[in-house]
Amino acid sequence: MRRRDFLKRAGCFVASAAVPAWVGCGDDDKPEPSGDGGVDSGATYEFLQGVASGDPQQTSIMLWTRVTAKKSSKAEISLKLEVSKTDDFKKLEVDKDIEATIASDFTVRVLTTDLEAGTTYYYRFRAGSDLSRVGRTRTAPDKDAEVNVNFAWVSCQDYAANFYSSYRQLLNDDEKKPESEQVQFVLHLGDFVYETRDAGFMTARNDDLEPVALKSKAGKPRVVAEFPSGGGMTATGTNFAKTVEDYRHLYKTFLSDPDLQEARARWPFINTWDDHEFTDDGWQTQANYDRKASLDEPSQTRRVAGSQAWFEYVPAVLSDLGAGDVANDARDFKAVEVEDVAYTDVIDVSEPNNQKAIHAITIYRNLRWGKHVDLVLTDSRSYRSDHALAEDSSVNDLLTFHPRAALSKDAVNILDAGKTANNGSPPDMAGRFPNTRKDSEPGTMLGAAQKAWWKSTMKASNATWRVWGNPVPLLRVQMDGSAVALISDQLLLSPDAWDGYNTERKELMAHLRDNQIYNVVSLSGDHHAHYAGVVFDDYDAATKKPIMVDIVAAGISSASQFEEIAGAFDTSVPEALKAVAADVRKVIVYDSTPLGGKSKAVVNLNTLLRYGSKAANEAAASNDLDKIEAARDMTVNPHLRYADSASTGYGLASVTASQIGIELITIARKFTDIGTTSPGIKCKASFTIEHAASFDDVGLPEPTLEGTKPFPLK
């Protein structure tokens, strides 16, 4: 099949503003958009998932919608795309005929070209007499334009965990700002959808960790309905998406939210993915739901289905991305036939079905925004190796209640380093675990091809700042277990992030160091928490050199990291450890009311991460902020400048030639449908990253805080 024919079937079109468009004297003869996506009693066609734009370049942008006939039909739907520089559409820059077909679930993606750089455009779609809502977008400024850059970054929008009040706060605040300070685009770092619908996996909890039932104003529960195929079921009862129709069902459900729809209509989004677009904590085509049999979960068909749905519903420019300083590897989704075939490789998996599945689409890419920002987006799932500690290695280990969280730093580092550990003489044991990686290559997050592209892109860029859109945190986040019962070890909070791939992290930082590539900033998500700190060339070296800064923004709606970890003590602790679980749990969460406090669930995890386990024990014993601070161990995570593990919200960046201003916004969570009302900001943490002339200049000061400070800050 010719590419043009394939793209048409896939809902992909190209529209050019250089082609003369219809010019009118107003739209008196055509109905105006009602603002509800064309949904009314007389409508023939509906735009139930709104409109969106993505991947703005200097002269082009991708425009998107989904249209359906109100009376269900499999027939093609004829559409018009209208693009104008004004929201009254009196003069059209583009008037393009397109078609929506059942092959792409009636989604359409239109690459609109020959536009003017740094320009705001309005767009809408017309089906018969029915109109979509109006979208607003903008193209990127010229590559050498001396312009300030303002953008937001977001991640983790679990539909059933809460309402999308974070987007509402962002929308309402942005409308009040002068145009020069408004958000120009939104960087989405993944978990756009969640692939499961198990009630226990997606339960909203309030600040006291009590379950909350989410309902719309009409009293309708905010839940994901059953999958069209019924989905798959894990041994522990988690219902997950299995077919392309199941994944499409998720996007349609999540995009039914009015706040998400309005955000996508107001700003162009630049998207990468994390894990839940396919499967929780997945790697290549492997799922990890059942702890005792991670290598028995080949999921090539699910991986292709998830990739197809993402391509259909997320307007990203891949194959047609403009050539930059480094060759573009990104490629549009192409349907492939695969089977679910088991494999035992853990690094570079050659199994043919795995290879076909992960190469059905390639999404890592970079986009330029004026002189100051080169945005480098990576894919942290498609090419990574298995987690350093395989799930089945820890199934009978009493001290491991989760195979991908709170693991020994030293053990994970040994396993990840493979045959290079201990200067090429890897030990037989990695702590208390057999060293199953002693004959393997070191682990990888990016894979060989993407890593080479990343290095070349970082080296070739001449932008003032290289901003790395990093789906998982680059920072080391270590848990001090020295004063915790049965542990007395240093643990990594999440080896599913870069902490589990320390060898490659050191390699990338060495590339920046050795080539004197300064002013790289990582913006990341995934952790459902706000973190900020400095990334060193080697966290374990006696002498460390600061290389860059990583800022982690909390999720839009997903259960906070604190909630998930505190909840794990109630559901995941082995029976043999129940007697001591309470002693361990108190360094994560405790009830302060017997100590004169007001909270039944104090966020002591923050104390553990910033001050250490001795201070966390003091907190649980006294709830006294002065005593807690006095017990602080200054050697615990000295590179961390901020930790708010119980947060929900987003990040804001304001980029100039001399600095990047950062705001981490924690919203006041609401568990009711508040419509278009802002939930309010609970806390704002503001940082300034100064432009560096050498690595000696790299640093991050403590933030300025407004609002309710996260515990245990005074």
Encode pLDDT of 584-642 as tens digits: 899 999 999 999 999 999 999 999 999 999 999 999 999 999 999 999 999 999 999 99
Identify the pLDDT of residue 398.
62
- Band (pLDDT 50/70/90 cuts) for residue 86 is very high
Q: What is the DSSP letter of 709?
A: P
Does 25 have pLDDT greater than 50?
Answer: no
Give per-residue pLDDT as tens, 630-689.
999 999 999 999 999 999 999 999 999 999 999 999 999 999 999 999 999 999 999 999
Of 367-371, 380-384, 393-397, 561-565, where does mean pLDDT reach its minimum?
Answer: 393-397
Identify the pLDDT of residue 405.
86
Identify the pLDDT of residue 486.
76
Average of per-residue pLDDT across 547-573: 89
Does 286 have pLDDT greater than 70?
Answer: yes
More confident position, 660 or 393: 660
Does 37 have pLDDT greater than 60?
Answer: no
- Band (pLDDT 50/70/90 cuts) for residue 706 is very high
- SS3 state at 331: strand
Phi, psi of 310 (to 5 degrees): -60, -45
Does 524 have pLDDT greater than 80?
Answer: yes
Domains of the chain (ranges; CATH) run 1-139 (2.60.40.380), 149-714 (3.60.21.70)
Identify the pLDDT of residue 72.
83
Signed CA dihedral, 689, 690, 695, 696: sign only: negative
Identify the pLDDT of residue 237.
81
- Band (pLDDT 50/70/90 cuts) for residue 38 is very low
What contacts 631, CB < 8 A, 6 or more positions away?
Answer: 611, 612, 614, 615, 617, 618
User: What residue ranges in 635-680 does DSSP mark as E strands?
Assistant: 640-644, 649-655, 659-667
Identify the pLDDT of residue 299.
94
Q: Which of 190, 181, 397 minimizes the C-alpha distance to 275? A: 190
Identify the pLDDT of residue 27.
38
Does 366 have pLDDT greater than 90?
Answer: yes
Phi, psi of 548 (to 5 degrees): -160, -175
Identify the pLDDT of residue 34.
39
Residues 259, 222: Cα–Cα separation, whole Å:
14
Give per-residue pLDDT as tens, 97-150.
999 999 999 999 999 999 999 999 999 999 999 999 999 999 999 999 999 999
Q: What is the mean pLDDT of the chain?
A: 91
Give per-residue pLDDT as tens, 289-299.
876 554 457 89
- Band (pLDDT 50/70/90 cuts) for residue 41 is very low
What contacts 655, CB < 8 A, 6 or more positions away?
Answer: 148, 149, 150, 151, 372, 373, 464, 465, 467, 661
Give per-residue pLDDT as tens, 150-207.
999 999 999 999 999 999 999 999 999 999 999 999 999 999 999 999 654 446 888 9
What would the DSSP string read from start to end of 124-192?
EEEETTEEPPPEEEEPPPPTT----EEEEEE----TTTS--HHHHHHHHHHHHS-GGGS--EEEE-S-S
- Band (pLDDT 50/70/90 cuts) for residue 396 is low
Give per-residue pLDDT as tens, 202-240.
468 889 888 888 998 899 999 999 999 999 988 778 899
- Model pTM greater than 0.85? yes
Phi, psi of 478 (to 5 degrees): -105, 140
Residues 110, 100: Cα–Cα separation, whole Å:
11
How many C-beta neighbours within 10 Å does residue 680 have? 13
Residues 367, 390: Cα–Cα separation, whole Å:
36
- SS3 state at 387: coil
Does 251 have pLDDT greater than 90?
Answer: yes
**CA distances to 130, 197, 295, 626, 671 from 57, in Å:** 30, 36, 41, 52, 38
Residues 347, 354: Cα–Cα separation, whole Å:
12
Identify the pLDDT of residue 391.
75
Does 250 have pLDDT greater than 50?
Answer: yes
Give per-residue pLDDT as tens, 458-468.
999 999 999 99
